[in-house]
């Protein structure tokens, strides 16, 4: 069955790759790493010097007296009440001298005389050892070097700020790593226009209005309308959010700052907030202008208030963003656009009026939208005459703009591979399949018996789909294995095409999904692992029916599951108690079993058609929707059911 994997990532935004060595070194000098390196060096040096002081050891007075008794003392120097004792024994690990505090001065001289030790007294000022001097000298030197670094770096960034577009800001920001990495778009160079974005008419309209507001604020304020501060583009990945923002940049004719949300939360604590501040400072200078923050969920995540230190950085960044958005005067003409495919995780504060108060949905394209997107991208490629793009649009329900762009690109690549100068319909059809289901993998070793099972499995899906009253028409059945692991698949038109799914639609789909397995059991009295993906999808549909759509009488109208992420994978989180969860599962099982029974009934009633189609598929490996209709018609007239095991390959 058809399966989509849309792993699209935006191809632009973020940092440039591939710096020269020189450039790298410069960046290193301007990064905080240099301070880290310096700090480590100083620590190492201090440690080294400190270690050499272990030549000295503090002992008690009685220990000193013992040393005297054992005749281990070479000489003694008295500095007020301190004794500096040089021992007779020398060598590695033995301190060069000992110090101790005198308990009683009177007896001392007698003792020293008795032991025959040389002794003298001196003033405290002279106790500076060579180590003390070296130590303080070294620390002074290091301090000096640090200050020199800081000053020269600050100068460097400030000079750069004056010459270039960006300005260094004072304090810590002056080091360069707190500056915003926003790229200011060169309006002349931005060639993307609204005409490059197909479909998405509502989104375009909203954005055109925003650009208009920016250009003629008076028109709006004179009526008393509040000027919006921000708008949020929300929708699944690959639907053209980033592209729309680029188009705004191209059309607006005003400065446009483009920054990715993740650029704020890169390295060091505090830099995110500083970068936000800097971005808005730059924007204020260029107003009227547009600031676009792509993938804003990277900073806009809900503050969870658990107080665990890990989120502080992001929260500070978010708070700064909120403060900046409150701070600027709307009449000044800064509009903040954001884009995200995870609106549900955004902090409520970001969405309230006065911030991203406008939501612009950018949804997956419908049939017409898909065709338009294909047309936009086909303009840039050399296409053979008579290409039918509608056919591709037809076959790709649920595909995003990025998927469609990818299909056209794959088709063009295929044409080049064959040394042709234009893309043909065959290229397009191949590319569609490639993007939908992975490329064909002819070399896979499949035994004739396995191949037969696969053929019956796929025809099972197709036949049940065909026999449904208002089921979606079958487009194509194939048993050529795919690189993504599918051994065959049946493609139906308009899956996911409805805004509203009726219980009948869903049941129909369940039946089609389990029909593959039913055909296996009916014809071979066994079952295979090939149905795993079908079962997974059937389970997901059944679960949604029971726990979200209220389509089971037992469970009733209760949302026992909530969708964690509406745009990414539709993953569910269960809110059910243990008993309810058991009930949900029971109901799911019932739904799937019912679907299976109905599918099995259809297959049994049409066993001869099943045989006829499956044998044809075994030989030809592909069947189109039209061929299938034709075969079914033929079969009707041929009559006479064939039983399992009896069939022969017909020419």
Task: Find residue 563's DSSP bridge partners.
Answer: 572
Q: CA torsion, points 147, 149, 150, 155, in degrees to nearest 10?
A: 120
Task: Find residue 361's DSSP bridge partners.
Answer: 234
To Mg ion, the closest distance from the beta carbon of 336 in angstroms equals 16
Nearer to Mg ion, 183 or 241 (CB): 241
To Zn ion, the closest distance from the beta carbon of 574 in angstroms equals 27
Largest CA distance in the chain: 135
Binding-site size for Zn ion (CB under 5 A) equals 2
Nearer to Zn ion, 252 or 513 (CB): 513
Nearer to Mg ion, 100 or 242 (CB): 242
| Nearest residue relative to ligand ADP (C-beta) | 401
Distance from C-alpha of 91 to C-alpha of 130, rounded to nearest angstrom: 19
Q: Three-state SS for 183?
A: strand
The residue among 510, 497, 492, 496 whose CA lies nearest residue 546 is 510
Q: Residue 516: name its binding partner from Zn ion, Mg ion, ligand ADP, none (Cβ under 5 to 8 Å by kind).
A: Zn ion
User: Which of 534, 561, 587, 635 forms a contact with Zn ion (CB under 5 A)?
Assistant: 534
To Zn ion, the closest distance from the beta carbon of 372 in angstroms equals 32
Distance from C-alpha of 275 to C-alpha of 258, rounded to nearest angstrom: 13
Q: Residue 197: name its binding partner from Mg ion, Zn ion, ligand ADP, none (Cβ under 5 to 8 Å by kind).
A: ligand ADP
Nearer to ligand ADP, 138 or 367 (CB): 367
Reading the block at residue 597, the tokens are 């029974």
Helices 607-620 and 448-467 pack at an angle, to 10 degrees, of 130
To Zn ion, the closest distance from the beta carbon of 599 in angstroms equals 12
Residues in contact with Mg ion by the rule CB under 5 A:
10, 241-242
Q: Residue 198: name its binding partner from ligand ADP, Mg ion, Zn ion, none (Cβ under 5 to 8 Å by kind).
A: ligand ADP
Q: Residue 402: name its binding partner from ligand ADP, Zn ion, Mg ion, none (Cβ under 5 to 8 Å by kind).
A: ligand ADP
Stretch that binds Zn ion, among 228-236, 529-537, 586-594, 638-646 (CB under 5 A): 529-537
Nearer to ligand ADP, 403 or 615 (CB): 403
Residues in contact with ligand ADP by the rule CB under 6 A:
8, 10, 197-200, 237-243, 339, 373, 376, 401-402, 405
To ligand ADP, the closest distance from the beta carbon of 635 in angstroms equals 43
Give, in order, the Cα–Cα distances in Å from 94 to each of 53, 54, 72, 87, 90.
12, 9, 12, 9, 6
Chain-centroid distance of CA 48 in Å reads 46
Q: CB of 528 within 8 A of CB of 552?
A: no
- Judged by CB under 5 A, does residue 516 bind Zn ion? yes
Q: CB of 157 within 8 A of CB of 173?
A: no
Stretch that binds Zn ion, among 230-238, 364-372, 465-473, 530-538 (CB under 5 A): 530-538
To Mg ion, the closest distance from the beta carbon of 558 in angstroms equals 36
To Zn ion, the closest distance from the beta carbon of 641 in angstroms equals 24
Reading the block at residue 202, the tokens are 């509502």
Catalytic residue among 313, 315, 458, 615: 458
CB neighbour burial string for 158-175, b if at least 16 within 10 angstroms, e if fewer: bebbeeeebbbbeeebbb
Nearer to ligand ADP, 238 or 516 (CB): 238
Q: Residue 534: name its binding partner from Zn ion, ligand ADP, Mg ion, none (Cβ under 5 to 8 Å by kind).
A: Zn ion
Q: CB of 234 within 8 A of CB of 364?
A: no
CB neighbour burial string for 210-249, b if at least 16 within 10 angstroms, e if fewer: bbebbeebeebeeeeeebbbbbbbbbbbbbbbbbbbbbbb
Active site residue 587: no
Distance from C-alpha of 99 to C-alpha of 60, rounded to nearest angstrom: 8
Nearer to ligand ADP, 199 or 516 (CB): 199
Which residues are near Zn ion by CB under 5 A? Answer: 516, 534
Q: Hey, which residues are catalytic here?
A: 458
């Amino acid at each position: 069955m058809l399966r989509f994997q849309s792993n699209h990532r935006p191809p632009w935004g973020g940092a440039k790759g591939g710096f020269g060595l020189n450039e790298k070194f410069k960046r290193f000098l301007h990064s905080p790493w240099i301070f880290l390196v310096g700090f480590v060096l100083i620590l190492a040096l201090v440690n080294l010097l400190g270690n050499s002081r272990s030549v000295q050891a503090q002992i008690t007075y009685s220990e000193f007296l013992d040393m005297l008794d054992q005749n281990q003392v070479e000489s003694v120097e008295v500095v007020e009440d301190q004794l500096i004792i040089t021992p007779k024994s020398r060598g590695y690990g033995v301190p060069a001298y000992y110090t101790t505090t005198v308990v009683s001065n009177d007896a001392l001289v007698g003792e020293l005389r008795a032991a025959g030790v040389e002794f003298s007294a001196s003033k405290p000022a002279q106790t500076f050892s060579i180590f003390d001097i070296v130590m303080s000298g070294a620390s002074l030197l290091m301090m000096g070097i640090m200050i020199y670094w800081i000053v020269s770096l600050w100068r460097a960034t400030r000079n750069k700020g004056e010459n270039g577009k960006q300005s260094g800001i004072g304090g810590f920001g002056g080091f360069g790593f707190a500056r915003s990495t926003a790229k200011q778009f060169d309006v002349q160079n931005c060639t993307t226009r609204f005409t490059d974005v197909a479909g998405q008419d509502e989104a375009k309209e909203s954005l055109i209005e925003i650009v208009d507001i920016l250009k003629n604020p008076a028109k709006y304020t004179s009526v008393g309308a509040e000027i919006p501060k921000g708008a949020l583009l929300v929708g699944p990945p690959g639907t053209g959010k980033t592209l729309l923002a680029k188009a705004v940049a191209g059309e607006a004719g005003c400065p446009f700052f483009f920054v990715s949300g993740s650029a704020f939360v890169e390295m060091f604590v505090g830099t995110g907030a500083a970068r936000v501040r800097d971005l808005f400072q730059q924007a204020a200078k260029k107003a009227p202008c547009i600031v676009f923050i792509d993938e804003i969920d990277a900073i806009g995540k809900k503050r969870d208030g658990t107080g665990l230190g890990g989120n502080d950085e992001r929260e500070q960044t978010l708070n700064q963003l909120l403060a900046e958005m409150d701070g600027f005067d709307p009449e000044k003409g800064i509009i903040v656009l954001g884009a995200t495919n995870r609106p549900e995780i955004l902090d409520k504060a970001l969405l309230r009026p006065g911030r991203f108060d406008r939501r612009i949905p950018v949804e997956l394209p419908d049939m017409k939208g898909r065709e338009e997107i294909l047309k936009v991208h086909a303009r840039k490629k050399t296409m053979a005459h008579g290409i039918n793009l509608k056919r591709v649009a037809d076959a790709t329900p649920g595909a995003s703009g990025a998927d469609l762009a990818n299909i056209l690109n794959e088709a063009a690549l295929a044409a080049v591979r064959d040394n042709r100068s234009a893309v043909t319909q065959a290229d397009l059809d191949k590319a569609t399949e490639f993007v939908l289901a992975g490329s064909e993998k002819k070399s896979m070793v499949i035994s004739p018996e396995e191949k037969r099972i696969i053929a019956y499995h796929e025809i099972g899906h197709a036949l049940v789909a065909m026999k449904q009253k208002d089921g979606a028409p079958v487009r194509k059945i194939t048993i050529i294995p795919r690189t993504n692991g599918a051994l065959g698949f049946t493609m139906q038109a308009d899956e996911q095409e409805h805004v509203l799914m009726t219980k009948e639609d869903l049941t129909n789909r369940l039946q089609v999904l389990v029909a593959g397995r039913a055909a296996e059991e009916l014809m071979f009295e066994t079952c295979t692992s090939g149905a795993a993906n079908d079962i997974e999808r059937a389970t997901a549909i059944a679960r949604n029916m029971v726990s979200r759509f209220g389509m089971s009488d037992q469970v009733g109208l209760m949302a026992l599951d909530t969708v964690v992420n509406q745009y990414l994978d539709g993953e569910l989180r269960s809110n059910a108690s243990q008993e309810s969860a058991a009930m949900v599962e029971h109901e799911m099982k019932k739904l799937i079993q019912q679907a299976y029974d109905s599918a099995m009934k259809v297959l049994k009633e049409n066993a001869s058609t099943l045989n006829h189609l499956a044998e044809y598929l075994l030989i030809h490996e592909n069947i189109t929707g039209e061929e299938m209709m034709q075969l079914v018609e033929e079969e009707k007239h041929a009559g006479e059911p064939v039983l399992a095991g009896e069939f022969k390959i017909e020419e």
